[in-house]
Amino acid sequence: MRKLFFGVSVAVMAIGFLAQAVSTVVAEDNYPSKQINWYIHSSAGGGTDIFTRTVTAELKDILGVPIVVSSMSGGSGARMLNYMMEQPADGYTVFSMTNSNLATMARKNTTAQRADIIGIARGCYDPQAFMISTKGPYKNIQEILEEAKANPGKIKVGITHVASVDHVAAYLFAKAADVQFEYVPFTGGGEMVVAVLQGTVDMGVLNPSEVMGQVDAGNLTAAVVFVQERLKSFPDAPTAKELGYDVEMNTWRGIGVKAGTPDAVVKKLADSIQQVMQGERYQKYLADNSMEPVSVMNAADWNAFLDAEWPLWGEIMKELGYVK
């Protein structure tokens, strides 16, 4: 009787495992069948928010389900990353990531590490610049550097989060120019733009994608850009290298999901997002914001890029004193 009971139990368990496996396969084949929740670590109106909404505006129609974008700020992305790690790896929780998220992981301020994330696509390689108000006290970077040398720490520079890509760019420039800045953190580019316009900070580290409306209105201009060649949108703004400072920095933005997400789901997301990014509307978004088509990377190239970037951000966090 015991043998019979044991045999029946094993059979029932086997049927259960088989049913679960079939259910998983069916769920993957039907993906997506419900709302996708998409998270960003910064506030509304900034470059990451604009990038994400540009992608999801078309993606929701391709996938045929609602996509809800939510801001989950806090801890330079730590709150968002921790939340991601608590969700099922099923493709229904997606997030946008930037250089700053690697910095947060390198500082071990989150439960997430590089191995916990699958890259879906890169969509932006966004130039960075020191943006100043056209109505402010300083008309160019030379005036700002003169003031910074005469009064160390007087010049206030807006950054999105401490230890972010903005912070790193400003720090490297100040180090190269042998000056000291005061760094003022904000939760996103939109908030920082307001601070620059109001004179709360003397300049902000921003991307063209975050400020072109204010530039076109004549309210903001670039004092210096951190790229190899002058930007078409700011032909009068010198590069840092032109000034003799070997500083180049871009904000990259991409998309990720939690490691363990089924391959079929990853492929469906990646293929659909590539369809968006190769389309006319997205390519116009890149061009309008001084970004090149090479900003877009497929999943394989994006994951390789992240693997190469990961140790570099650990090194710069040590230099800044955030990692011992």
Q: pLDDT class for 21, splitting at 50, 70, 90?
A: very low
Instruction: Give the pLDDT of residue 95.
Output: 98
For 90-113, write each residue's pLDDT tens digit. Answer: 999 999 999 999 999 999 999 999
Q: pLDDT class for 2, splitting at 50, 70, 90?
A: very low
Q: Is the pLDDT of residue 128 over 50?
A: yes
- How far apart, in whole angstroms, are the C-alpha atoms of residue 313 and residue 168? 10
Tokens of 295: 């900003």
C-alpha 283 chain-centroid distance: 18
CB 254 within 8 A of CB 96: yes
Instruction: Give the pLDDT of residue 123.
Output: 98
Please compute the mean of the pLDDT values over residues 306-316 and round it to a whole number: 94
For 162-186, write each residue's pLDDT tens digit. Answer: 898 999 999 999 999 999 999 999 9
- Please give the CATH topology (third level) of the domain spanning 129-225: D-Maltodextrin-Binding Protein; domain 2 (3.40.190)
- How far apart, in whole angstroms, are the C-alpha atoms of residue 19 and residue 6? 20
Instruction: Give the pLDDT of residue 75.
Output: 85
For 264-291, write each residue's pLDDT tens digit. Answer: 999 999 999 999 999 999 999 999 988 9
Please compute the mean of the pLDDT values over residues 127-138 and round it to a whole number: 96
Please compute the mean of the pLDDT values over residues 64-81 and round it to a whole number: 94
Please compute the mean of the pLDDT values over residues 120-142 and round it to a whole number: 96
Instruction: Output the average pLDDT for the chain.
Output: 91
- How far apart, in whole angstroms, are the C-alpha atoms of residue 37 and residue 66? 9
Q: What does pTM read for this prediction? A: 0.81
Per CATH, the number for 33-125+251-319 is: 3.40.190.150
Instruction: Give the pLDDT of residue 28.
Output: 65
Name beta bridge partners: 98. Answer: 253
Please compute the mean of the pLDDT values over residues 19-45 and round it to a whole number: 76
Higher pLDDT, 304 or 208: 304
Q: Is the pLDDT of residue 8 over 90?
A: no
**In the chain, which ranges are continuous DSSP H helix?**
2-29, 47-63, 78-86, 99-106, 141-150, 165-177, 189-198, 208-216, 263-277, 280-288, 299-319
Q: What percent of the chain lies above the pLDDT cut of 70?
A: 91
* Residue ranges matching CATH 3.40.190.150 in the chain: 33-125+251-319
For 144-160, write each residue's pLDDT tens digit. Answer: 999 999 999 999 999 98
Please compute the mean of the pLDDT values over residues 30-42 and round it to a whole number: 96
The per-residue b/e assignment along 237-261, b for 16 or more CB within 10 angstroms, e otherwise, is: bbbbbeeebebbbbbbbbbbbbeeb
* Residue ranges matching CATH 3.40.190.10 in the chain: 129-225
Instruction: Give the pLDDT of residue 184.
Output: 97
Tokens of 321: 């004193």
